[in-house]
């Protein structure tokens, strides 16, 4: 065979490998501010208007997109890794953006349990009433539209990735922020977990086959918790400076969620229900910050001062806030949410393993 022919054949094989990689058709994402790519902002963001201006979005996008971060989120890195466009927020669909490669229903401030529940307990600090059930209703509308156009919609959904969360963090945040105790909040865990599991089973009934259900982050390492629940008692902190009791709470939620996922797998053996260990993926950079290029893991990059640069009455974006010069050296963005750099490392830990179990069906087609 001539060199010329060999080259032609080689190029042909290369094109087979690089142009037709197996991937997901679409990603459908549910959750709260950890995954919201614009729904909260599009709904008016009345309870947190600073999200609509810089420094939110200063990295990568160079303008505010409604993401509660300086840049991209875990779900954005997933879309990039699978060669899909960044997911449009559901509320932007009305403006003519296509849903072909997936939609993001996540809304900042969202709770798993319905908003009415919190109002009935006199907890009225909710950012939004768009709970997980509300987001499921949005998905059902989108699905009806997709299936009206595509005959293969069953197959299409089968090869789509559903990310159910992270959700539930706010179900605890709101009560904690108005004085709830760890003991009281532990009693709420079964109801939160049940709501997440119920939503996951509704999605399976709707045709989802591959679903990722993330657990909660280590909230005891978060600037808002460190500020509100800080104590002179050194024993309350672990060696990374995080509040032990609040991290234990996150672990408690995650353990209950994992158990419930095991039961759900028995109920739906045809589905692949993946637990995503956000806690474990994040804990690595609190434990060994330098390894991930971080100089600061506990102090927020952007905020109104104080030991953790978090002041509830002077938050990032409000008058007098201070933002760090290099957000890639910080894990915490605004006291509550993480930086793009932190989300990148969490996403990488999920995509490359070992923090998704079982692993995702299609390996990422691009390095992130
Ligand atoms: C909520 O507040 C109202 C008015 O202050 C009070 O009457 C009611 O008992 C409270 N409910 C709960 C569940 O605390
Ligand atoms: C949520 O619903 C309650 C009760 O209907 C309402 O008072 C409140 O303004 C709503 N909050 C938001 C953020 O939409
Ligand atoms: C928080 O911000 C408010 C409003 O700017 C200010 O009055 C207060 O002193 C700040 N608190 C701390 C602890 O820095």
87-132 pLDDT, tens digit per residue, is 999 999 976 667 889 999 999 999 999 999 999 999 999 999 999 9
Q: Is the shortest distance between the CB of 111 and ligand 3 below 6 Å?
A: no
So where are the chain's domains?
A: 23-221+244-279+340-357
Residues 6+ apart with CB under 8 A from 255: none
Q: How far is the CA of 157 from the centre of ligand 3 (A)?
A: 49
Q: How confident is the model at residue 9 (pLDDT cuts 50, 70, 90)?
A: low
CA 128 to CA 108: how far, in whole Å?
Answer: 7
Instruction: Say whether pTM exceeds 0.85.
Output: yes
- Kindly give the pairing relationship between strand 160-164 and strand 26-30: parallel
Cis peptide before 133, with omega less than 30 degrees from 0?
Answer: no
CATH number belonging to domain 23-221+244-279+340-357: 3.40.50
Q: What is the arithmetic mean of pLDDT over 342-357? A: 96
pLDDT for the residue numbered 353: 83
Nearest to 80 by CA among 277, 365, 349: 365
Pick from 337, 332, 167: nearest CA to 254: 167
How are beta strands 302-303 and 322-323 bridged, if at all? antiparallel
- Alpha-carbon gap, residue 68 to 66, rounded angstroms: 6
Candidate of 227, 314, 317, 318 to mutate for ligand 3, largest count of ligand atoms within 8 Å of Cβ: 314
Average pLDDT over residues 318-340: 97
User: Minimum mean pLDDT among 93-107, 148-162, 246-260, 292-306: which range?
Assistant: 93-107
Interatomic CA distance for residues 35 and 31, integer angstroms: 6
Residue 56 alpha carbon to ligand 3 centre in Å: 21
- pLDDT for position 99: 84
Catalytic residues: 33, 334, 337
Looking from the CA of residue 122, the nearest atom of ligand 1 is: 1
Return the residue whose CA atom lies nearest to atom 11 of ligand 3: 311
CA distance 90 to 92: 5
**Is 13 a residue whose pLDDT tops 60?**
no
Given a cut of 50, is residue 15 above it in pLDDT?
Answer: no
**Lowest model confidence (mean pLDDT) among 4-18, 146-160, 182-196:** 4-18
* Residue 28, strand partner residues: 103, 162
**Which pair of tokens denotes residue 272?**
């692949």
Choose the residue to mutate in 228, 304, 312 for probing ligand 3, maximizing ligand atoms within 8 Å of C-beta. 304
Handedness of CA 318, 173, 76, 152 (dihedral sign): negative
Distances (CA, A) of 349 to 145, 285, 328, 367: 34, 11, 17, 12
Q: What distances in angstroms separate CA 133 from CA 164, 258, 264, one per listed residue? A: 11, 20, 18
In whole angstroms, give the CA distance from residue 69 to residue 87.
16
């Amino acid at each position: 065979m001539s060199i010329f022919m060999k080259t032609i054949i080689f190029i042909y094989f290369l094109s087979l490998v690089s142009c037709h990689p197996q991937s997901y058709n679409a990603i459908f994402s549910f959750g709260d501010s950890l995954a919201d790519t614009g729904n909260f902002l599009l709904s008016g963001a009345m309870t947190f208007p600073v999200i609509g201006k810089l420094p939110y979005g200063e990295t990568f996008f160079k303008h505010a997109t409604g993401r509660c971060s300086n840049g991209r989120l875990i779900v954005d890195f997933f879309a990039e890794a699978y060669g899909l466009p960044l997911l449009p927020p559901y509320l932007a669909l009305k403006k003519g953006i296509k849903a072909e490669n997936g939609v993001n229903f996540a809304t900042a401030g969202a709770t798993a349990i319905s908003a009415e529940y919190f109002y009935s307990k006199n907890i009225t600090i909710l950012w939004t009433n768009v709970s997980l059930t509300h987001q499921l209703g949005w998905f059902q509308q989108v699905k009806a539209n997709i299936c009206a156009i595509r005959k293969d919609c069953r197959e299409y959904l089968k090869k789509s990735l559903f990310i159910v969360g992270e959700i539930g963090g706010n179900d605890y945040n709101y009560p904690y922020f108005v004085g709830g105790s760890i003991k009281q909040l532990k009693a709420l865990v079964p109801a939160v977990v049940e709501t997440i599991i119920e939503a996951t089973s509704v999605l399976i009934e709707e045709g989802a086959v591959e679903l990722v259900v993330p657990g909660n982050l280590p909230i005891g390492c978060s600037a808002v918790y460190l500020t509100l629940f800080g104590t002179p008692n050194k024993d309350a902190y672990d060696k990374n400076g995080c509040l032990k009791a609040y991290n234990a709470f996150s672990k408690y939620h995650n353990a209950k969620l994992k158990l419930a996922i095991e039961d759900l797998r028995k109920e739906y053996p045809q589905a692949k229900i993946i637990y995503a260990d956000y806690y474990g993926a994040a804990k690595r950079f609190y434990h060994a910050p330098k390894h991930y290029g971080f100089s600061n893991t506990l102090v927020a990059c952007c905020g109104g001062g104080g030991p953790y640069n978090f002041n509830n009455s002077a938050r990032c974006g409000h008058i007098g806030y201070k933002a760090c010069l290099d957000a890639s050296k910080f894990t915490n963005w605004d006291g509550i949410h993480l930086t793009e750099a932190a989300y990148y490392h969490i996403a990488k830990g999920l995509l490359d393993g070992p923090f998704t179990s079982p692993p995702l069906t299609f390996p990422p087609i691009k390095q992130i």
